């Protein structure tokens, strides 16, 4: 902000300083000038008086002096007489030296005898005086020869004065008089100082008074400005907020939604808009009074805020209407999850001051960019959906488009069914063998893969329910069950002498981030009796990228237990090679998509090749999954792949079938045959 007092004080201080300096210089110059004029007049009168009294005696001598040899001049009687006359006339005055020149510029006389005979014909003062004018100047001398003695540090006024002949009024000779004005100059300096300091003091007092006034004015202006800003902020807040709940209001909603849509457009993510309308709020208001109604609205606002995600924005549009903007939606169904939570929390019993009431809410949802591409259409869509929810019997939500409704309902149903699946023993594990390529098809491991035997929908693969398990946190208990079941099964098969190999178990992100993973693995091994070297944990690449330091620490602990670690779906994430070096893992499982396309896509072939080189360079085992045909197998063998897994050898199998094939030795035979085929292919090539 512009600070008036600062600018004023600096500017006026500089101005005052300038005035004082100019004034003092001007005053002094003027005073010196008038001092010199005064002294010149005195010198002229003295010269004139001297000329009047004794000049007639000497004028002939002075006139003819040029004819006398300069060296003889000082010894002439006239000179001695002149010296005596001048001394007699000038004693007691401030005259310190007298010189007399004839018209030729010859120094005929000087009170300093050493200067007699000197030529002054070209001196400007002399020339001016010979032309009939007085010439004066003031000078400072450190050392000066005056009337037979030396004087020190003096200010002198020197005047060249013409002496006129009485006969024809022409110049007959030139006098030069030196007067000592040191005392006068000192006096003048003192008065200058007094005058200037007097003026300076007056100006400074004026300056102080004016500055004080300006500072005060400045403060008044500033405080008025602050008040204006505060009241503007207040007005703005009032304009954008609802006074009852403190939530942002309709005006704010439109602005924010517009911004969110623009962001969504940039990031490519969906934005959800939710319209909330309380069911039968009017009845509460009419029967219990407005105070109770207001209290209820506040309770609802708090509850909705509490269950919304951190990034969701809640608004009160007026009356019993609220809206929520949901940004960064991964799946449109996520909006339905929020709606469900809102419905559940709003419908809880609300305790007001004197009453207990239950109120429900109907919600409409529209999604950018699926349902509409601008604020107006999106709002209209959410509003229409809200009316559908009301028609559907209230206390529910409806989406603008039907498919979202269907998917959301499916998801909710699965979600609630998953809650009981573990208890109802609906999960099973299928096992898929891994074969050794250098070992000519020997079974060297198996992967445990989760399946859900759904009572209605039949056997479901993990991609249909794994994200729900992860989102709801159920993966922790289900994951532990998988680990325990796989270890127990492997131990049992080993006890029966059916195999002597590792079992691998997939670990998902929430399990890995859960602090108890290490102790669970430890306990499960102890409980099932399986040796640590027979357990392999498959960690996906993405899981290791976030919080790498911590991931390395957890992996170190797992390695200490003695289990195998592999990176699953390697190449699909973005792990830095820098870190890869520091992960204490044993195997890389190259992502199946590379295997799938490597025979048709040069790039995928090159990546597969590069990953194989990388694994060898880092001394890691290389596993290929999703191997479906002999050509892929040939390629992988050629690149030094250690283990392979895929439909070529076996699909993932239920326990009984896997066990049957183990007993019959068929798994082994299939794998060996497949490898024999590749050997043939290689031979043919
Ligand atoms: P994954 O760990 O990469 O498992 C390999 C997937 O590829 C399995 O799918 C398997 O059935 C499939 N597969 C095996 N051979 C072939 C083949 O030759 N061709 C093709 N096209 N596919 C093949 P699945 O069983 O559907 O599992 C999918 C993903 O679900 C797994 O990928 C894994 O990430 C996850 N998953 C499975 N079980 C569990 C579990 O118990 N816990 C956790 N956290 N995740 C699991
Ligand atoms: Mg896996
Ligand atoms: Mg995989």
CA-to-CA distance for 343 and 394, rounded, in angstroms? 10
DSSP labels, 271-304: EEEEEEEEETHHHHHHHH-HHHHHHHHHHHHHHH
Per-residue model confidence (pLDDT) at position 682: 57
Classify residue 627 as exposed, middle or buried by CB count within 10 Å of its CB (0-12, 13-18, 19+). Answer: buried
Which atom of ligand 1 is found nearest the CA of 479?
A: 42
Cβ partners under 8 Å of residue 425, min gap 6: none
Per-residue confidence (pLDDT) for residue 659, from 0 to 100: 95
What does the pLDDT look like over 91-120, one tens digit per residue? 778 889 999 999 999 999 998 888 898 899
7-47 tens-digit pLDDT? 888 888 888 889 888 988 888 889 889 999 999 999 899 88
Report the residue among 506, 543, 590, 599 best suited for mutation to probe ligand 1: largest number of ligand atoms under 8 A from its CB. Answer: 506
Under a CB-based contact definition with an 8 Å cutoff, are residues 601 and 567 in contact? no
Residue 139, classed as helix, strand or coil, is strand
Going 147 to 152 to 156 to 158, the CA torsion angle's sign is positive
Q: How large a percentage of the chain has pLDDT more than 90?
A: 55
Q: Are 257 and 325 in contact (CB under 8 A)?
A: yes
Q: Where are the beta strands (DSSP E) in 124-248?
A: 135-146, 149-164, 171-180
Model confidence at 83: pLDDT above 80: yes
* Residue 368, CA distances (Å) to 209, 260, 324, 326, 330 in order: 66, 10, 13, 10, 12
Element (H, E) at 269: none
Nearest CA to ligand 1 atom 16: 626
Mean pLDDT of 262-288: 90
HEC assignment per residue over 302-349: HHHHHHCCCCCEEEEEECCEEEEEEEEECCCHHHHHHHHHHHHHHCCC
Q: Is 26 in the pocket of ligand 1 (CB under 6 A)?
A: no
Q: What percent of the chain has pLDDT over 70?
A: 98
Top-confidence residue, 648 or 72: 648
- Does residue 626 have its Cβ closer than 6 Å to ligand 1? yes
User: Using a 6 Å cutoff on CB, does residue 461 contact ligand 1?
Assistant: yes
181-221 residue pLDDT tens:
998 889 988 988 998 899 889 988 988 998 898 889 889 98
DSSP letter for 113, please.
G
Ligand 1 near 625 CB (within 6 A): yes
What's the whole-number mean pLDDT along residues 649-662? 95
Residue 72 has pLDDT above 80, yes or no: yes
Query: Distance (Å, rounded) from C-alpha 237 to C-alpha 572?
Result: 48
Say what the pLDDT of residue 126 is: 93
CB atoms within 10 A of CB 538: 21
Which pLDDT band holds residue 276 (cuts at 50, 70, 90)?
very high
Phi, psi angle pair for 555, to nearest 5°: -60, -40
Is the confidence at residue 89, as pLDDT, over 90?
no
- H or E element, residue 626: none
Q: How far is residue 629's CA from residue 648's CA, in Å, rounded to a whole number?
A: 6
Q: Whole-angstrom Cα distance, residue 597 to residue 582?
A: 30
State the distance from the centre of ligand 1 to the C-alpha of 303, rounded, in angstroms: 40
What HEC string does 9-46 produce? Answer: HHHHHHHHHHHHHHHHHHHHHHHHHHHHHHHHHHHHHH
What residue's CA is closest to ligand 1, atom 11? 652
- The 10s digit of each residue's pLDDT in 423-452 is 999 999 999 999 999 888 889 999 999 999
Residue 311 has pLDDT above 90, yes or no: no
Nearest CA to ligand 1 atom 41: 450
pLDDT score recorded for residue 374: 92
- CB-based contact 580:552 (threshold 8 Å): no
Q: Are 259 and 342 in contact (CB under 8 A)?
A: no
Statement: residue 503 has pLDDT above 80? yes
- Ligand in nearest proximity to the CA of 590: 3
**What pLDDT does 684 receive?**
52
Distance 6 CA to ligand 1 centre (A): 74
Would you say the CB of residue 510 lies under 6 angstroms from ligand 1? no
Of 644, 679, 663, residue with least CA distance to 443: 644
Q: What pLDDT is attached to residue 328? A: 86
> Does the Cβ of 467 fall within 6 Å of ligand 1?
no
Closest ligand 1 atom to 450 CA:
38
Q: Is 628 in the pocket of ligand 1 (CB under 6 A)?
A: yes
pLDDT tens column, 385-427: 998 898 888 889 998 887 766 777 777 788 889 999 999 999 9
pLDDT digits (tens, 9 = 90+) for 457-478: 999 999 989 988 987 889 999 9
Q: Which ligand ends up closest to the CA of 477? A: 1
What distance in Å separates the CA atoms of residue 31 and residue 446, rounded to the nearest whole number? 116
Map 455-493 to HEC letters: CCCEEECHHHCHHHHHHHCCHHHHHHHHHHHHHHHHHHH
From the list 561, 625, 548, 552, the residue with the least C-alpha distance to 584 is 552
Ligand 1 pocket, 433 CB below 6 A?
A: no
pLDDT, the chain, mean: 90
Say what the pLDDT of residue 680 is: 62
Specify the residue with its C-alpha closest to ligand 1, atom 10.
652
672: CA distance to ligand 1 center in Å? 23
pLDDT at 685 over 80: no
Q: Which residue has the higher pLDDT, 546 or 367?
A: 367
Please provide the DSSP assignment of 418-434 as one string. HHHHTTTT-EEEEEEEE
Q: Taking phi first (over 0 means left), then psi (-120 to 50 degrees means alpha), and beta for anything else, what does residue 274 get?
A: beta
SS3 571: coil
Q: Which ligand is nearest to the CA of 644?
A: 1
Q: What is the pLDDT of residues 529-585, one digit of tens each?
A: 999 999 999 998 878 877 788 899 999 999 999 999 999 999 876 666 777 888 999
Helix (H, G, I), strand (E, B) or coil at 146: strand
pLDDT over 70 (residue 326): yes
pLDDT confidence band for 299 (50 / 70 / 90)? very high
Give the tens place of pLDDT for each residue, 226-262: 999 999 999 988 889 999 999 999 999 999 999 999 9
Measured in Å, how far apart are the chain's first and last C-alpha atoms? 84
What is the CA(357)–ligand 3 centre distance, in A? 53
Q: Whose CA is nearest to atom 25 of ligand 1?
A: 449
| Ligand 2 center from residue 458 Cα (angstroms) | 23
> Do 35 and 188 contact (CB within 8 A), yes or no?
yes
User: Mean pLDDT over residues 288-297, rounded?
Assistant: 92
* Cβ of 508 below 6 Å from ligand 1: yes
Sort strands 427-436 and 397-399 into parallel, antiparallel or unpaired.
Answer: unpaired
Mean pLDDT on 368-375: 92
For the cut 90, the answer to whether the pLDDT of residue 156 exceeds it is yes
Q: Is ligand 1 within 6 A of the CB of residue 449?
A: yes
- Ligand 1 atom closest to residue 538's alpha carbon, by position in its atom list: 2
What phi, psi does 153 have (nearest 5°)? 50, 70
Rounded to whole angstroms, the maximal C-alpha distance in the chain is: 165
Residue 24: the pLDDT is 86
Residues with CB under 5 A from ligand 3 (ion): 568-569
Q: How long a stretch of residues is the chain? A: 685
The pLDDT assigned to 95 comes to 87
pLDDT of residue 575: 61
Is residue 628 packed enough to be buried (19+ CB in 10 Å), middle (13-18) or exposed (0-12)?
middle
Supply the pTM of this predicted model. Answer: 0.56
Average pLDDT over residues 590-609: 93
Position 67 scores a pLDDT of: 86
Which of 461, 462, 572 to probe ligand 1 with, by most ligand atoms within 8 A of CB? 462
Q: Which residue has the least CA distance to atom 4 on ligand 1? A: 449
Q: Out of 55-59, 306-310, 573-577, 604-608, which region has the weakest mean confidence (pLDDT)?
A: 573-577
Whether residue 503 has its Cβ less than 6 Å from ligand 1: no
Side-chain half-sphere CA neighbours of 517 within 13 A: 25
Greater pLDDT, 311 or 555? 555
Tell me if 485 CB under 6 Å of ligand 1. no
Ligand nearest to the CA of 445: 2
Does the pLDDT value for residue 515 go beyond 70?
yes
DSSP 42-111: HHHHHHHHHHHHHHHHHHHHHHHGGGS-GGGGGGSHHHHHHHHHHHHHHTTSSEEEEEEE-TT-BEEEES
């Amino acid at each position: 902000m512009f600070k008036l007092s600062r600018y004023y004080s600096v500017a006026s201080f500089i101005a005052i300083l300038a005035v004082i300096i100019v004034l003092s210089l001007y005053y002094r110059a003027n005073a010196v000038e008038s001092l010199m004029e005064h002294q010149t007049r005195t010198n002229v009168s003295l010269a004139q008086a001297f000329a009047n009294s004794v000049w007639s005696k000497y004028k002939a001598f002075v006139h003819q002096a040029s004819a006398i040899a300069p060296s003889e001049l000082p010894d002439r009687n006239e000179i001695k007489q002149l010296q005596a006359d001048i001394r007699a006339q000038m004693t007691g005055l401030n005259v310190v030296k007298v010189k007399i020149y004839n018209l030729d510029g010859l120094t005929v006389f000087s009170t300093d005898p050493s200067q007699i005979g000197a030529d002054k014909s070209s001196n400007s003062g002399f020339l001016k005086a010979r032309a009939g004018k007085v010439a004066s100047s003031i000078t400072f001398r450190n050392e000066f020869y005056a009337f037979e003695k030396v004087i020190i540090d003096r200010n002198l006024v020197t005047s060249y004065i013409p002496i006129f002949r009485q006969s024809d009024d022409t110049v007959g000779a030139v006098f030069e008089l030196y007067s000592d004005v040191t005392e006068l100059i000192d006096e003048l300096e003192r008065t200058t100082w007094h005058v200037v300091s007097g003026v300076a003091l007056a100006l400074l007092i004026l300056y102080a008074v004016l500055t004080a006034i300006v500072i005060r004015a400045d403060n008044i202006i500033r405080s008025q400005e602050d008040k204006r800003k505060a009241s503007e902020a207040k007005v703005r807040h009032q304009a954008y907020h609802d006074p009852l709940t403190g939530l942002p209001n309709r005006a704010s909603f439109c602005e924010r939604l517009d911004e969110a849509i623009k962001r969504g457009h940039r990031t490519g993510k969906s934005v959800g808009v939710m319209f909330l309308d309380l069911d039968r709020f009017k009845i509460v208001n009419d029967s219990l009074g407005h105070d109770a109604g207001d209290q209820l609205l506040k309770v609802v606002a708090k509850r909705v805020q509490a269950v919304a995600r951190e990034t969701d924005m809640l608004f009160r549009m007026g009356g019993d209407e609220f809206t929520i903007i949901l940004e960064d939606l991964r799946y449109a169904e996520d909006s339905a999850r929020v709606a469900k939570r809102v419905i559940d929390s709003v419908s809880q019993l609300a305790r007001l001051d004197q009453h207990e009431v239950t109120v429900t809410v109907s919600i409409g949802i529209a999604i950018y960019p699926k349902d509409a591409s601008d604020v107006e259409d999106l709002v209209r869509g959410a509003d229409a959906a809200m009316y559908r929810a009301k028609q559907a019997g209230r206390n529910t939500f409806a989406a603008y488009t039907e498919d979202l409704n269907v998917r959301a309902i499916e998801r909710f149903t699965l979600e609630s069914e998953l809650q009981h699946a573990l208890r109802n023993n609906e999960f099973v594990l299928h096992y898929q063998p891994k074969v050794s390529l250098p070992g000519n098809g020997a079974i060297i491991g198996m992967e445990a893969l989760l399946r859900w035997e759904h009572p209605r929908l039949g056997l479901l693969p993990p991609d249909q329910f794994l994200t729900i398990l992860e989102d709801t946190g159920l993966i922790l208990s289900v994951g532990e069950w998988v680990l325990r079941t796989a270890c127990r099964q492997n131990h049992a098969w080993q006890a029966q002498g059916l195999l002597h190999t590792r079992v691998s178990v997939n670990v998902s992100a929430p399990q890995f981030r859960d602090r108890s993973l290490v102790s669970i693995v430890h306990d499960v091994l102890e409980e099932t009796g399986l040796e640590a070297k027979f357990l392999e944990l498959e960690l996906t690449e993405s899981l290791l990228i976030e919080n790498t330091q911590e991931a390395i620490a957890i992996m170190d602990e797992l390695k200490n237990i003695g289990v195998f670690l592999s990176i699953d779906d390697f190449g699909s994430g973005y792990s830095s090679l820098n870190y890869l070096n520091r992960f204490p893992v044993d195997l890389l499982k190259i992502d199946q998509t590379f295997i799938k396309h490597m025979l048709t896509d040069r790039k995928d072939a090159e990546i597969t090749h590069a990953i194989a080189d990388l694994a060898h360079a880092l001394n890691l085992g290389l596993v290929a999954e999703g191997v479906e045909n002999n050509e892929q197998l040939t390629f992988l063998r050629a690149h030094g792949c250690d283990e392979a897994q895929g439909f070529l050898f076996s699909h993932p199998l239920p326990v009984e079938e896997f066990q049957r094939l183990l007993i019959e030795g068929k798994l082994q035979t299939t794998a060996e045959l497949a490898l024999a085929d590749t050997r043939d292919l290689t031979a043919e090539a």
